[in-house]
Amino acid sequence: MSGDGPIGIAVVAKEAGWTSHDVVARARKLLDTRKVGHAGTLDPDATGVLVLGVGRATRILRFLTALPKTYTATVVLGSETSTQDASGEVVASHDMGEVTVDAIETAARDLVGDIEQVPPMMSAVKIDGRRLYELAREGTEIERPARPVTIHRLDVSDVDLAAGTFTIDVACSSGTYVRTLGADLGAALGGGAHIRDLVRTSVGSFGLESARPLEQIELLTPAEGLADLASIKVAEDVAAEVRHGRVIERVRLGVDGDGPWGVLSPGGELLAVYQPHRGTTVKPAVVLVG
């Protein structure tokens, strides 16, 4: 806590029935600050890891949003819904009684790697200044350009052919829609599908074991919140330049590679996040402590 209110990163275990905005609004009341944001929307029906930024730490949420994520979900074969999950209305039904375990596993393997996804209409993607979910609620469906995502792992388990269900365990890049992955699996199997019981099991290194119920919200320091980024602890003379947002030689900052890098004070406080600049220099992407 500082003079301008609480600052830090919170790893929340979101409950079903809450929108990500609901979680942010409640966190603002619990922490008595308006400065709360989240690092990647979770669907209202979904549960699991939702990372919040509080105070000046909202400035580093973009680095957390970009982290890879993992999920589990149940795929329900035979019915497509308006939302691609169990909350929507059934819009198409298919007889998929001939689907085999081998076919399911093959379809899953074929979706691993770099793929393109068409965002669902019930999503927060903006097209021409409008959120897709706003258009969907007005009964409008528009063309959506496909976007590149990466599926690092897509494991299948608990196949119940009689019920037409199976579990998927997904590791993917930021921006992946697991609902759409379920729909794509259904299409690849010659029919359609939707998902239920979606759980985000991790954001970067923050797993379910790290998440706290919203009413027991706890703040990590910004430095702890950026544990997945490479970081460098600098001497006080360099820290003074970092606090002023100066462009610095790579050698002076002591970094290599592509970045970005968290820059820590001698005492371990996160001062800024730096990124490559021109030639042999680096510059701040964001400064937290001036």
* 213 to 13, 42, 64, 117, 218: CA distances (angstroms): 5, 15, 20, 32, 9
Please, are residues 19 and 44 in contact by the beta-carbon 8 Å criterion?
yes
Residue length of the chain: 290
Annotation marks residue 155 as catalytic? no
Tokens 């509080």 found at = 54
Closest alpha carbon to 157 in 168, 144, 143: 168
Which DSSP category does 89 fall into?
Answer: -
Please, are residues 85 and 123 in contact by the beta-carbon 8 Å criterion?
no
Would the CA dihedral through 145, 146, 149, 151 be positive or negative? positive
Residues 6+ apart with CB under 8 A from 260: 63, 229, 230, 273, 274, 275, 285
Catalytic residue among 4, 22, 43, 184: 43
Separation of CA 119 from chain center: 15
Phi, psi of 251 (to 5 degrees): -60, -40
Catalytic center residues: 43
